[in-house]
Every structure is written in structure tokens, then in C-alpha cells.
């Protein structure tokens, strides 16, 4: 059999290749009245950076000492290890400096210091020509200085003004930015890590989503409207978040949106916790709590969703593998949890449960083990049985409105053929349920032909008098996994194949009135059944493919 016979003999009259073109066909009308977040598969930002080597070994030759000596491992460092060095001035203005080549721009040098002996000035610099005096005490503290440098050879480090004075030093860091981030240790190599950047699409701008870690193009993202009920979603230092046995360092690391807004949470006991203020919710309703987390020295964290009275759901999340384990469903029924890897050590963890009957307050938060550190950003609580894209908040809850895409008028009739057709789609949804990939309708349920996710992948036609004139089920739905579905239809013969599988057939007659006049992509005529997922491709052929061709299209 010739290869050509395995596919329809004519080109599709409509081809929407969202994953490859990453743009809308000009015949599509798209609306969304708010901004919305997504990954573009391209944009990254500098995350952890330390342009110095041997950041905890001032005795190493990488550090040039002038009128100064360095003694290794002479005190307990801020991280509890015996890795802090002594730097002693053997003459006036003793220095320990490390050279680097700068490009024009802002640089920030930071270092942990503790006075050992003496009372003279201690100075630091990102450019050894311009020193800044710091008041050093007998307790560990992190000191930093930001300088705007010209291009060329520079040196960053410490200067002890008075001969004979000594300081303990640990954790030197140099970054090409205007403020210090969390410390990153180095030995033989400098470090610059990059993070995929969560983008914000403007109102009315379609989102073509990507896998943040692999860069895979996922196609057109269609989501229903959702509201983030958590306030101060990226400001865990705010009083709206109640703290117990933890300290919060605001803006300590680069967050998934590329800004310096991720907070460092440090536990001071075995039960360190953050818990939101009371959030008004609806009883007996499914809610999903999600948050972005990156490990500091912790390897796990415990999330909780609570009503504050009758109980809570708890999930342990592994910060290295992303594995989630429900340890207590409490009064929240069938609790589920999941994770998505977001690059550079960040995970987005989600917990879903049903709010108990009669309880209209909810609390979200987490536990951190004794002396554990984690970076936290982007908390979200939304009504629904799955998490949608992140919605930032500050002083009030915020809503992302629904995505709507459609083709009508001649933009529809120019390619549609009611008497005979083949519909192809490659798409995925967040979960199984009644979610439409493409609907062909005339503004009502009658005569509507739809391709959708339900418990199965389906193609069917609806009629107000008989509910369905035909319905073909292709196979079970796997959430967050792409499937290829193709259906060949005529007035009295229908066939469907899913992922190259066996063909399901029917012979029911079409409803004759009214004929479809509109194609709705990722939703239906009533503004519901939103896909809540992404569409890589939709194609329409004005002929009915053979069963073999349907299978070949979906392999």
C-alpha cells in the first residue's frame, strides 16, 4: 500500500498548528479581559550567581592578600560548619581581594563577617578603588555593597584599615546585579544558574505555553476563569501570613517570574510554620492550594489545607524529586497532590481537597523542620479540583478571566463542510471531565458537533430532542498527557480513532437543523466546558477519511 493512501487525499481546509507557529490564525477572534501567566520556552533569567571562586577559603591563592594573612577553618560559620576563616591585618589597610573582569553595569559584593579583635574600620568593595566602611560586631552578619562599574579588570573583597585587627570571614559572593541574593558557595568554579521565566501575557493576548524545563511547545493555552484567594501571594513576610518559629528573609532569591521576590523561610524549631489568615470559601466545594518551592538546606516540606476547626489535609513534598505523599486527608475527603518542575530547583506543588460541610473559612500554609531553609513564592488558593496558571496578588484577591477563541462568519464557512468532514486534534487537559477541544455549533445545543475530554476522548453530536444523535468514545483520558484524536463524519456514518487505536464507528443520522456557523476552540457556545489545557494542533478536512487513514493520522 502506498504511503499516500494512509492519509486523506486532499489538504486540510483548516490547519491550526499552534505548537509550531506559536501564533493565532488571523481568522480567529480571541478574548481574555485580564493578564495571564505562561512559559514561552525561551526567556531565562540569571538566578544564583557567584562570580568568585573559593568563596569560603580566603587562604586559597585565588584571594590575593596584601598586608594580610588568612587562617582557614578557625571559627564556626553561619551555617554551623567549622569553615570560617580568620583574616588578620599585618599592616595598615590589609586586604584580601579576588580579581574579576567586569562589564559595565551594577555589581554587588557580599560577605559574612564577625569581628575577632580590634576596633578599626572594616571595608568592603566590588571595585578595590572604592571601599565602603561597615560597622562590624562580634556577631555574624552579612554585609554587602553595590557599585556601578566600568568595564575592565576589577577586584572585590575586604580591607582591614588598622594593623593588627582581625575578622572572621565566610561566604563571599559577587553578583552582576543591584542587590544581593541568597548565598551560593563555590570552590574551583564560579557559578551562574539560569531559571525559566514565567511570562505575563497582556489582556487579549493569547498564550502559547511551553514546558518550563524541556522547552517543549505545548500549543494554545485555554483556561477558565479562576480567582486566587490568597493575599500577598509573593510576600510571605507580610502580616497576613501568620508565622510560628520561623524567620522570613524577604526578596532573598530570584523567583520563577525572574524577579528578586522569592522569600527565604528559616525554621527555628521542629514545628516552624506559616499559616494564612482566614480565607472565606464555600463549604462542600473543591479547592486547590498551590505554591512554588525551592530547597535551601531542606529536602522536604509539609503542606496543609485546613478549615481551622474540624481538621486539615497534609501532604509531604520531596523538594529534590517532586514526589508528593498525602499523610492526612482529615475532613477533606479524597485529597490529591501533584507537582510540576519549573526549572533551577523550583517545583510547583498542589494539594486539592473538598472544604468540609458547614465550614466557610480555609487556611493554607506549610511546616518546615528544625533549622531547615526553603525558598517560597507564588501561593494560590482557587476553587476547583486542579491548579491553573499562577495569578499574582497583593492586598486583595485577583481573578484571571477565561480565554475565548472562535471563528465565525466567512472565517468559518470558508473551510467548513457540513455534509462530510474529518476533524483532527492533538491536545491535553489538566484532568478528565467535560472539557471541549473544538465545538462546531450555531449558538445552541442543537446540531452541535464537539470533540472533547470526558471520561473518554469523545466526538459526538447533540440534539435537544434526543440528547445525542451519535457519540463515539475513543479511550480513557490521561490528564496532562497529549492525545491525538481523529473523527471522520458523514450524515449517516461516523468513525473515530485515538492514538492510532482501533476505530469506533456509528451510523446515526446527523441532526439537520441548524447547521453549525461557528467554531469555538477550547470551550462551548455557552461559555463553559473550558479545555483547561493546551492544544497543539487542529485540522479539518472537507472529506471523511477512511478508517485506516484515521488511525494513521493519530499514530
DSSP codes of every residue in 79-90 = TSSS-EEEEEES
pLDDT for 465 equals: 66
The predicted-structure confidence for 154-197, as pLDDT tens digits, reads as follows 999 999 999 999 999 999 999 999 999 999 999 999 999 999 99
Task: Kindly report, residue by residue over 251-269, the tens digit of the pLDDT.
Answer: 999 999 999 999 999 999 8
How does pLDDT run across 284-299, given as a tens digit for each residue? 999 999 999 999 999 9
Per-residue pLDDT, 3: 47
- Which CATH architecture fits 52-189? Sandwich (2.60)
pLDDT confidence bin for 321, thresholds 50/70/90: very high
CATH number of 226-400: 2.60.120.260
CATH topology of domain 3-32+403-553: Jelly Rolls (2.60.120)
* pLDDT per residue as tens digits for the range 368-403: 998 899 999 999 999 999 999 999 999 999 999 999
pLDDT at 325: 97
Q: Which comes out higher in pLDDT, residue 348 or 270?
A: 348
The secondary structure of residue 402, as a DSSP letter, is P
Whole-angstrom Cα distance, residue 465 to residue 469? Answer: 9
Determine the pLDDT at residue 271.
85
In the prediction, which pLDDT does 468 show?
79
Give the mean model confidence (pLDDT) for residues 345-371.
Answer: 96
User: Could you report the per-residue pLDDT of 7-62, keeping only the tens digit for each?
Assistant: 667 899 999 999 999 999 999 999 999 999 999 999 999 999 999 999 999 999 99
**Per-residue pLDDT band at 110 (split at 50, 70, 90):** very high
Kindly state the average pLDDT of the residues 541-546: 96
- Dump pLDDT digits (tens) for 478-532: 888 999 999 999 988 999 999 999 999 999 888 777 899 999 999 999 999 999 9
C-beta neighbour count of 244 within 10 angstroms: 14
Q: How far is Cα 348 from Cα 291, in angstroms, rounded to an integer?
A: 6
- SS3 for 482-515, per residue? CEEEEEEEECCEEEEEECCCCCEEECCCCCCCCC
State the pLDDT at residue 1.
36
pLDDT at 6 over 90: no
| Domain range summary for the chain, segments of one domain joined by + | 3-32+403-553, 52-189, 226-400
Amino acid at each position: 500500500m502506498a504511503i499516500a493512501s494512509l492519509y486523506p487525499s486532499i489538504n486540510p481546509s483548516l490547519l491550526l498548528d499552534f505548537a509550531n507557529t506559536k501564533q493565532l490564525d488571523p481568522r480567529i477572534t480571541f478574548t481574555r479581559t485580564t493578564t495571564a501567566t505562561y512559559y514561552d520556552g525561551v526567556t531565562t533569567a540569571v538566578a544564583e550567581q557567584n562570580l568568585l571562586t573559593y568563596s569560603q577559603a580566603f587562604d586559597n591563592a585565588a584571594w590575593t592578600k596584601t598586608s594580610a594573612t588568612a587562617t582557614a577553618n578557625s571559627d564556626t560559620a553561619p551555617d554551623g560548619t567549622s569553615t570560617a576563616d580568620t583574616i588578620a591585618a599585618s599592616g595598615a589597610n590589609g586586604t584580601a581581594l579576588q580579581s574579576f573582569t567586569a562589564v559595565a553595569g551594577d555589581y554587588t559584593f557580599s560577605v559574612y563577617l564577625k569581628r575577632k579583635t580590634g576596633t578599626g574600620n572594616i571595608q568592603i568593595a566590588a571595585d578595590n578603588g572604592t571601599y565602603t566602611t561597615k560597622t562590624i560586631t562580634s556577631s555574624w552578619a552579612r554585609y554587602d555593597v553595590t557599585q556601578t562599574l566600568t568595564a575592565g579588570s576589577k577586584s572585590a573583597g575586604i580591607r582591614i584599615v588598622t594593623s593588627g585587627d582581625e575578622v572572621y570571614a565566610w561566604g563571599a559572593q559577587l553578583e552582576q546585579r543591584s542587590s544581593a541574593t541568597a548565598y551560593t558557595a563555590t570552590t574551583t568554579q564560579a557559578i551562574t544558574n539560569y531559571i525559566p521565566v514565567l511570562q505575563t501575557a497582556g489582556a487579549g493576548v493569547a498564550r502559547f505555553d511551553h514546558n518550563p524545563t524541556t522547552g517543549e511547545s505545548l500549543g494554545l493555552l485555554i483556561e477558565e476563569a479562576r480567582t486566587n484567594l490568597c493575599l500577598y501571594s509573593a510576600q510571605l513576610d507580610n502580616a497576613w501570613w501568620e508565622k510560628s518559629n520561623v524567620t522570613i528573609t524577604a526578596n532573598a532569591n530570584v523567583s520563577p517570574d525572574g524577579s528578586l521576590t522569592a522569600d527565604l523561610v528559616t525554621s527555628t524549631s521542629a514545628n516552624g510554620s506559616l499559616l494564612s489568615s482566614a480565607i472565606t470559601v464555600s463549604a462542600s466545594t473543591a479547592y486547590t492550594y498551590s505554591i512554588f518551592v525551592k530547597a535551601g538546606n531542606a529536602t522536604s516540606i509539609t503542606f496543609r489545607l485546613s478549615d481551622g476547626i474540624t481538621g486539615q489535609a497534609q501532604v509531604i513534598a520531596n523538594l529534590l524529586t517532586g514526589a508528593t505523599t498525602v499523610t492526612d486527608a482529615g475532613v477533606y475527603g479524597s485529597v490529591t497532590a501533584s507537582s510540576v518542575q519549573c526549572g533551577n530547583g523550583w517545583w510547583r506543588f498542589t494539594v486539592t481537597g473538598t472544604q468540609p460541610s458547614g465550614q466557610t473559612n480555609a487556611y493554607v500554609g506549610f511546616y518546615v523542620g528544625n533549622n531547615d531553609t526553603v525558598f517560597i513564592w507564588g501561593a494560590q488558593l482557587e476553587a476547583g479540583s486542579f491548579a491553573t496558571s499562577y495569578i499574582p496578588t497583593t492586598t486583595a484577591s485577583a481573578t484571571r478571566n477565561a480565554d475565548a477563541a472562535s471563528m465565525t462568519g466567512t472565517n468559518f464557512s470558508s473551510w467548513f463542510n457540513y455534509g462530510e468532514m474529518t476533524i483532527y486534534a492533538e491536545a491535553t487537559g489538566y484532568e478528565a471531565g467535560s472539557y471541549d477541544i473544538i465545538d462546531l455549533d450555531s449558538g445552541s445545543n442543537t446540531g452541535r458537533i464537539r470533540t472533547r475530554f470526558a471520561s473518554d476522548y469523545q466526538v459526538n453530536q447533540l440534539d435537544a430532542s434526543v440528547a445525542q444523535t451519535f457519540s463515539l468514545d475513543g479511550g480513557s483520558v490521561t490528564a496532562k498527557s497529549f492525545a491525538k484524536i481523529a473523527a471522520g463524519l458523514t450524515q449517516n456514518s461516523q468513525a473515530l480513532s485515538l492514538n492510532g487505536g482501533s476505530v469506533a464507528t456509528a451510523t446515526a443520522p446527523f441532526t439537520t437543523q441548524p447547521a453549525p456557523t461557528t467554531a469555538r476552540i477550547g470551550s462551548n457556545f455557552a461559555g463553559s466546558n473550558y479545555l483547561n489545557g493546551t492544544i497543539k494542533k487542529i485540522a479539518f478536512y472537507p472529506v471523511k477519511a477512511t478508517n485506516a487513514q484515521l488511525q494513521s493520522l493519530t499514530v
